[in-house]
Chains A and B, each alone.
Chain A
Amino acid sequence: MAETASDALLGVFREPDSVATALDSLRAAGFGGHELTILSGVPYPEGAFGEEPERHRLYVFPFMGAACGFAVALLLVVGTQISYPLVTGGKPILSIPPMVNVMYEGTMLGAVLFTVIGIIFESRLPNLTPMPYDPRISEGYIGVLVTRADGRTAAAERALREAGALDIVTHPNAQLAT
C-alpha cells in the first residue's frame, strides 16, 4: 500500500472497539480499504477491527530461493568434482550420496535467504517515506492512518473524532525513515 505523507492523517485510539468504529465511519465517508492502515504495537488477530485481509505473495519466495539454492549448490558440487576428477576408493567422481549433503544445505540456505528478503519486501521495508506516526503506538495505543485524505481531510478527521480518537496527527514523523 503506497503511503504518502503530505495528505495523510493519523487518529490515535486507546480501545480496539473504537478503532473498529472508526473504520466503519471512514468507509461510510467514502474511504476505501486501500486508503486505511491500522498501526499498533501489538499483533491483533486478523479481522479484529473489521479490516480487509492483507494479501501477500510471501509463500512464493521460499520456493524461488530453494530453486536458486539448489541450482547454485548443484553447480558447486558438480563443478568442483569434474574440474579435478580425482578417483578415491574406486568411487564415481559424481557420487550422489555425498553431493546430496551440500546440495541440501544450499537449497535450504537459498530458501531461508529468499524468505527473509520476501518478509522485508512484502512488509514494505525499509519504509523511507515520512508519515504521521505517534510513538504512543508502541505503548499500546492504536493508530488509524488515512493515507490519501486530500480534499476529504475534514470528513476523515470528523469520522476519527466521532469514533473516539484521542489525537489526530498530521505532521510526518521523520524518525521512521532514519
Chain B
Amino acid sequence: MQERRDLPPPKVNHDLLQFPMHTPLWFWIAAGALGMVVAAGVLTFGLMMHVGLQLLGYTNTVYWSVLITNFVFWVGISHAGVMISAILRLTQAEWRRPVTRAAEVLTVFSLATAALFPVIHTGRPWRLIYWIFPYDFSRGVWPDIRSALVWDPSAIFTYLTSSTLFVYVALIPDLAVARDRSTGWRRRFYGLFAMGFHGSKRQWRLQAIAGILLSALILPIFVSVHSIVSWDFAMAILPGWHSTVFPPYFVIGAVHSGVSAVATVMASLRRVFHLEDYITPDHFDALGRLLVAVATTWLFFFLMDFYFGIFRRDPTEVAVWQLRLFTPPYSTLFPIFLLTAYVIPVPIWLFRRFRRNIGMMFWTSLLVNVGMWLERYILIVPPQSFKEPFTYLWVPPYVPQPPEYILTLAGFGLVSFGFLIFAKIFPIIPLYDIKEGQVLKHEIRIGRVRVPAIFRE
C-alpha cells in the first residue's frame, strides 16, 4: 500500500459517524424505494401461498429453478465476509481495514436472504416447523439427518450465527465511541450494546485475539457451508449434478462472486458516503489483484466440471452439456455467463490503471455477479430439463414467470435494505481499525525514497 493519509481520531470519528448520527433526505427516499421492492416480494410470496406454486413456471421435471438459483447465489455472496475479513485478518493484510465490516455485514444480510429462498420455495412455509421439529412426538419421527437437505440448514444456521457474532464482537469498540458522541436515546442504545466498553488494555488485547480466533474458527465453517450447499446437488444422482468436483467448484465460485460483490459495495459506499479518504484506489487495486487469482481458479474448476462431464462419454451427461451449450435459451445464456463472469472482467483487471479506476471496478465487479447468477441458473435448471426416455415427454419447457422475477428482485432489495439500515445505525467502516492503522503507520527511508512501513505484533 503506497497511499497513507493522515487521519486524526476526531476526524475519523466525525467522518464515519456522520451517517449514523445525521439523517439526510436521500436516506428516506432510498429506504422507501427499497422497502417497496421488498414489499412487492412479500406480496408476491403471499399471493403464491394463497394461489399455489402454479404461479411459478414449474414443470413436472423442473422445480428447482429461479428460487433455488437465488438461494445458491446469495449463499455465494455471503462468502465475501469471511474471504475478505477472516483471511485478511489472519494474514494481517494492511488494506483490510476499511473493507472488513462492509464485507461481514454483506455476509449476514445475504445469508439471511439466502435462507429465505428455500422457505419460499417450499410453497407452504408454515410446514417447515414439522420439518425442523419432530413430525410426531408420539411416534418419534425426526428429520432425517442422512439427507443433504438437513445438512444444509445446520451449516447455514452455524454460519449465520457465527457471522452475526463476528460482526457484533468487532462492533463493540465502535459502539463505545458512538455512545461517547451521542445524547439521549441514542446514548442509551449504543451504551446498552457497548456493555460498558472503555478501551482498557485488556479489552483491546482480547479484541485483537478475538479477531484472529474467530477468523480461524469461521474459515472452516465458510468452506463447509458452500460444500454442503453443493451436496444438495452432487448427492443427487441427476446427470449434470452428480459430480465430485462440485464442493471446491462451488466454494471458489462463491468467493469469486463474494469478493466481486465487496468491490461493488465498496465503490458504492465511497461514492454515497464520500469516503474518499478511507476507501482509496489502493484498495481496489488490491481487490482487483485478488480477483484475478480467484477468478482464474474458479475458471479451472468450471473447466474441470465440463471435462468431467464429457470425459466419461456417458450419453445422458453429454446430452446435458449439449442442452447447456446448444439449446435455446441456455445456448444464449451460456456465452453471456462466460463473458460476464470471466472473459470481460479478468483481462481488464490485469491492468493497474483499470484496477485503480473505481468506476471500472464497480461495473466489472457488477458484471461478474450477473455472470455468476447465470452460472447457477445454467448449473441447476438444464439437468432437470433433460427428458429421460419414455417419461414426461409431454412436458413444456420451463420458463420463469413474473413472480419469480419479482422475488429475485426482492432478494436484491432485501440485502440492500438491510445493508442501508445497518449503515444508518452503525459505522460501516470500523473506526478502531482505521485508528489503529494510523497509530502503527510509519515511513522509513531506503536509499533516496521514503516507503511506508507497518508495525506488526
Contacts and interface: CB of A to CB of B under 8 A. Distances in A.
Contacts of A176: 191, 196, 198
A166 interface: no
Given A58-B213, A101-B154, A119-B206, A140 B197 contact: no
A28 interface: no
25 contacts: A37-B201, A41-B199, A80-B144, A84-B140, A86-B144, A98-B151, A99-B145, A102-B145, A102-B154, A109-B157, A109-B162, A111-B217, A113-B165, A115-B217, A116-B165, A119-B206, A123-B197, A127-B196, A133-B198, A138-B9, A139-B10, A140-B9, A175-B191, A177-B196, A178-B188
A105 interface: yes
A41 B140 contact: no
- Decide if the interface of chain B is mainly helix, strand, loop or mixed: helix
B432 A127 contact: no
A104 B145 CA distance: 13
Nearest to B152: A101
Nearest to A40: B199
Nearest to A83: B140
B218 interface: yes
Nearest to B456: A45
3 closest A-B pairs (Cβ-Cβ)? Answer: A127-B196, A140-B9, A80-B142
B154 A105 contact: yes
Given A39-B199, A119-B206, A84 B141 contact: yes
Interface in B143-162: 143-147, 150-151, 154-155, 157-158, 161-162
Interface string B171-211: 01100110111000001100110011111111111111110
B9 A127 contact: no
- Interface size on B, as a range, is 35 or more
B145 A135 contact: no
Contacts of B151: 98, 101-102, 105
Contacts of A120: 195
Contact of B457 (A45, A51, A111, A135): A45
Interface of B: 8-10, 13, 139-147, 150-151, 154-155, 157-158, 161-162, 165, 168-169, 172-173, 176-177, 179-181, 187-188, 191-192, 195-210, 213-214, 217-218, 220-221, 224, 228, 432, 435-436, 438-440, 455, 457
A104 B210 CA distance: 21
A106 interface: yes
Nearest to A49: B201
A1 interface: yes
Contacts of A79: 142
B197 A41 contact: no
Nearest to A88: B146
B436 A126 contact: no
A124 interface: yes
A108 interface: yes
Contacts of B217: 62, 108, 111-112, 115
A50 to B, nearest CB: 11
The winner among B181, B198, B218 for most chain A CB atoms within 10 A is B198
B207 A43 contact: yes
